């Protein structure tokens, strides 16, 4: 398995969202938006059913209850306004009455898309907006959340570590791909 990178440029994130939102099917847009906003692993994303994101009244839920496949731990994940808006738009355009259907269905079947398909999609999206200088793949969405939380929003590494379920801050730093250039930049800015 090759190491993949987060999307480090907020403008590239916006470009992918704009590109996918203009597509005939909003499935890929919703996959991207949920992936970068929840930091769920790709396996947990692809396992979501329609009923997982709707409340008892059929409206988009505020929280998502997930049993993480890799760790087995229960996670309660907040669905922020961007996720809720994307899901609302998706269900308005493609109404679904069966809560047991996979949220990210294959166009050829009612089965969920698989990890390989997700990897191909994410690579295609990244390449389409000019991200050609690194490897991108299934973990890119989760890593993008962590990277943006730290770099753009200034969230402490310990909180990101807790969200991602990492054992130590060192694991989180390595996971997010903190580069030597970033460290040098910090060294240049901190003048005492």
pLDDT, tens digit (0-9, with 9 covering 90-100), for 12-49: 999 999 999 988 889 999 999 999 999 999 999 999 99
The one catalytic residue among 41, 84, 143, 150: 41
Q: What is the pTM of this model?
A: 0.90
Q: Is the pLDDT of residue 1 over 70?
A: no
The one catalytic residue among 27, 84, 105, 142: 142
Q: What is the pLDDT of residue 70?
A: 83
Determine whether 11 is an active site residue.
no
CATH of 10-141, one of 3.30.360.10, 1.10.357.10, 1.10.443.10, 3.30.110.30: 1.10.443.10
Determine whether 108 is an active site residue.
no
Q: How confident is the model at residue 102 (pLDDT cuts 50, 70, 90)?
A: very high
Q: What is the pLDDT of residue 186?
A: 78
Q: What is the pLDDT of residue 182?
A: 76
Determine whether 93 is an active site residue.
no
The one catalytic residue among 17, 27, 105, 166: 166
pLDDT digits (tens, 9 = 90+) for 104-161: 999 888 899 999 999 999 999 999 999 998 999 989 999 999 999 998 998 999 999 9
CA torsion angle for 122, 125, 129, 130 (degrees, to 10)? 50
Q: What is the pLDDT of residue 173?
A: 85
Q: What is the pLDDT of residue 146?
A: 94
The one catalytic residue among 17, 27, 105, 139: 139
The one catalytic residue among 11, 70, 76, 108: 70
Taking residues 163-189, report their average pLDDT: 83
pLDDT digits (tens, 9 = 90+) for 39-75: 999 999 999 999 999 998 989 999 999 998 888 788 8
The domains of the chain are located at 10-141
44: closest CA among 56, 31, 60, 55? 31
Determine whether 147 is an active site residue.
no
Query: What are the CA-CA distances from residue 168 to residues 30, 114, 150, 173, 192 (Å)?
Result: 31, 30, 16, 9, 29
Determine whether 174 is an active site residue.
no
CA torsion angle for 37, 42, 43, 49 (degrees, to 10)? 50
Determine whether 142 is an active site residue.
yes
Residue pair 122/141 in contact by the 8 Å Cβ criterion:
yes
Q: What is the pLDDT of residue 9?
A: 95
Taking residues 79-105, report their average pLDDT: 92
C-alpha 186/C-alpha 158 separation (Å) is 19
């Amino acid at each position: 398995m090759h190491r993949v990178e987060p999307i480090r440029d907020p403008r590239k994130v916006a470009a992918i969202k704009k590109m996918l939102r203009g597509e005939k099917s909003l499935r890929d847009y919703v996959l991207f938006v949920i992936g970068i906003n929840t930091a769920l692993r790709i396996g947990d994303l692809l396992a979501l059913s329609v009923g997982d994101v709707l409340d008892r009244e059929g409206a988009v839920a505020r929280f998502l209850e997930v049993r993480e496949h890799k760790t087995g731990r229960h996670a309660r994940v907040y669905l922020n306004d961007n996720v809720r808006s994307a899901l609302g738009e998706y269900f308005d355009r493609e109404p679904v009455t069966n809560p047991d259907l996979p949220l990210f269905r294959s166009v050829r079947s009612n089965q969920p898309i698989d990890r390989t398909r997700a990897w191909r999609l994410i690579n295609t999206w990244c390449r389409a907006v000019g991200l050609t200088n690194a490897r991108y793949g299934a973990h890119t969405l989760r890593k993008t959340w962590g990277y943006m939380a730290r770099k753009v929003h200034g969230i402490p590494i310990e909180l990101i570590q807790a969200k991602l379920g990492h054992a130590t801050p060192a694991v989180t730093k390595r996971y997010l791909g903190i580069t030597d250039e970033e460290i040098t930049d910090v060294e240049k800015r901190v003048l005492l």
